[in-house]
Amino acid sequence: MNRILFLMLILAFANCNKQDTVQKESSKTTNPEKMISNPIEEPLKLTLKDANSLAELPLACLQIEYPNKLNQTLGGKENLGEPKELHPTFYGCFDWHSSVHGHWSLVKLLKSFPDLEKREEAIAKLRQNITRDNIAVEVDYFAEKHNKSFERTYGWAWLLKLAEELHSWDDPVARELEENLKPLTTVIVQKYLEFLPKLKYPIRVGEHTNTAFGLSFAWDYAEVLQHQELKNSITAKAKEFYQNDKDCPMGWEPSGYDFLSPCFEEIDLMRRVLPKAEFDQWITVFMPQLKTKNYTLEVGEVSDRSDGKLVHLDGLNFSRAWVLYGLANQYKGYEHLISVANTHVQYSLPNLVGDSYEGGHWLGSFAIYSLDVNSK
C-alpha cells in the first residue's frame, strides 16, 4: 500500500511539473497583444526620424529593375521588353503599382518634411523618372490592345493618389512633376469613367482588386482636383454596391494573403461618400460592434517576412489602422478605435526598415499613409 501511495505521489508531482512547463512555454509563444505595450490613446504620428527611415525604402528600389514582376499580357513577341523599356517611369520596386506608390511615398515625405535628410536625392530620382518622354511611353502601354485593363484598379488608385499629392504640394518641383504626369493621370481618370458603369458587382477581396479601395483613393483625387464627373460616378457606384450591406463578417478576416480588409475598406469608402446621418445609419447596420467602447481586434500575425505573400499581413495591419484613424478623426464616438489602430501599427512598423525586399519594396507606403491619415 505504501509503495502504491509513493508511486501516486511521484506521478502527481511529475504532472504538476509538466503543467508548469506547458504554462511557461505558452507564455513564450508569440502573442502580438502581449508583445506591444498598452497603446496610447492618441493617434501615432509620423515624425522626422520616421520619415528619414521610411524614405530609405523607396530610395532603395525606385531605380532597381530586377527582380521584377511585369503582369503583362503578351499579344506577340513585339510586346517583349526589359522592364525599364516598357515602363521607363515605374519600372522599379518589383512591380508597376509598388513603383507608383514608392514615388508617392517620396512626394508625401518631401511635402510633409522639408528638412528630409535625403531631400535632394529624392527630388533627383523623382525628376529622373517622371519626365514627359517617360510618361508618354507609359501612356502608350495602356493604349496597347491587350493591356487596356493593366493594373485595374489598384495601380490606377495609387496613380491618382500620386497625382493628388503632387497637386497639393506647394513647390515648383511638384508643378513640374504634376505637369509631366498629367497625360497618364488623364488616361487613368478616363479608364475609371469607362469601367465603373460596366462593373456590375463589387470585388470583395483582401488584395489588389478590392473595389472599395480602388474607389476610395479615386474619390480623394476627385475631391481635391474638383473632378465632379468622377466623384459622381464613384458615389453612385459605392451606394449601388454597398448601401444595403449589413453584418459584415469580420470573423472571416483575415485571409492568409490579405493586405486590405474587405469590411474596413467599405467603411473607408462609405464614410467619404455618405452624409453624416446616412453614414451613421449605415454603419449601425453594417458593423455595430465598432461603437462598443471596449472593441478589440487582433492584429494580423506574420509568420515569415521573407515570404512575399505572407508579409501581406503587415500591410493589412497598416490598412486597418488608416481606416480606424480616418473614422475616429471624422466622427465623434469612435475615439476608442485609435488604440486599436495604434496596436496594429506598433506591431508592424518596427519590422520595415532593414526588412527583406519582399516587404520593403511596398510596405513603407502603407506605413506612411496610415500615419499620415491623422494629419488630415
Residue 30, preceding bond cis, omega within 30 degrees?
no
In this prediction, residue 374 carries a pLDDT of 67
Residue 276 belongs to domain spanning = 36-365
In this prediction, residue 12 carries a pLDDT of 43
Residue 361 pLDDT greater than 50, yes or no: yes
DSSP character for 92? -
Structure-model confidence comparison of residues 7 and 316, the more confident one? 316
Residue 41's pLDDT band (boundaries 50, 70, 90)? Answer: confident
Cα separation, 329 vs 311, in Å, equals: 28
Closest CA to 202 of 234, 249, 241, 233: 241
In this predicted model, what pLDDT tens digit does every residue of 240-293 receive, in sequence order?
Answer: 999 999 999 999 999 999 999 999 999 999 999 999 999 999 999 999 999 999
Q: Tell me what the pLDDT averaged over the chain comes to.
A: 90
In this prediction, residue 349 carries a pLDDT of 94
Residue with cell 505572407: 310
Write the CATH number for 62.
1.50.10
In this prediction, residue 8 carries a pLDDT of 42
Cα separation, 242 vs 78, in Å, equals: 42
Closest CA to 128 of 59, 78, 226: 59
Closest CA to 196 of 255, 168, 252, 156: 156
**Cα angle, residue 48 at apex, residues 47 and 52 outer, rounded to 5°:** 120
Residue 105's H or E segment, with its range, is helix 96-112
Number of Cβ atoms within 10 Å of the Cβ of 342 = 21
Rg (CA), the chain: 24
For residue 100, tell me if it sits in a domain: yes
Number of domains in the chain: 1
Residue 19 pLDDT greater than 80, yes or no: no
What proportion of the chain, given as a percentage, has pLDDT over 70?
A: 88
For residue 25, tell me if it sits in a domain: no
For residue 29, tell me if it sits in a domain: no
Question: Looking at the whole model, is its pTM more than 0.85?
Answer: yes
**In this predicted structure, which of 10-14, 40-44, 113-117, 267-271 has the lowest mean pLDDT?**
10-14
Closest CA to 183 of 134, 254, 232: 134
Closest CA to 230 of 238, 222, 241: 222
For residue 209, tell me if it sits in a domain: yes
For residue 359, tell me if it sits in a domain: yes
In this predicted model, what pLDDT tens digit does every residue of 145-162 receive, in sequence order?
Answer: 999 999 999 999 999 999
Number of residues that make up the chain: 376
Structure-model confidence comparison of residues 373 and 66, the more confident one? 66
Cα separation, 316 vs 363, in Å, equals: 10
For residue 169, tell me if it sits in a domain: yes
Residue 30 pLDDT greater than 70, yes or no: no
For residue 174, tell me if it sits in a domain: yes
Q: Which long-range contacts (CB under 8 A, 24 or more apart) does 91-94 make?
A: 91/63, 91/65, 92/61, 92/62, 92/63, 92/64, 92/65, 93/58, 93/61, 93/62, 93/64, 93/361, 93/362, 94/61, 94/67, 94/68, 94/69, 94/357, 94/361, 94/362
In this prediction, residue 354 carries a pLDDT of 66
Rounded average pLDDT over 33-46:
64
For residue 24, tell me if it sits in a domain: no
In this predicted model, what pLDDT tens digit does every residue of 87-131 receive, in sequence order?
Answer: 999 999 999 999 999 999 999 999 999 999 999 999 999 999 999
Residue 42's pLDDT band (boundaries 50, 70, 90)? Answer: confident
In this prediction, residue 355 carries a pLDDT of 63
**Cα angle, residue 11 at apex, residues 6 and 15 outer, rounded to 5°:** 150
Residue 215 pLDDT greater than 50, yes or no: yes
End-to-end CA distance of the chain: 78
Burial of 316 (0-12, 13-18, 19+ CB in 10 A): buried
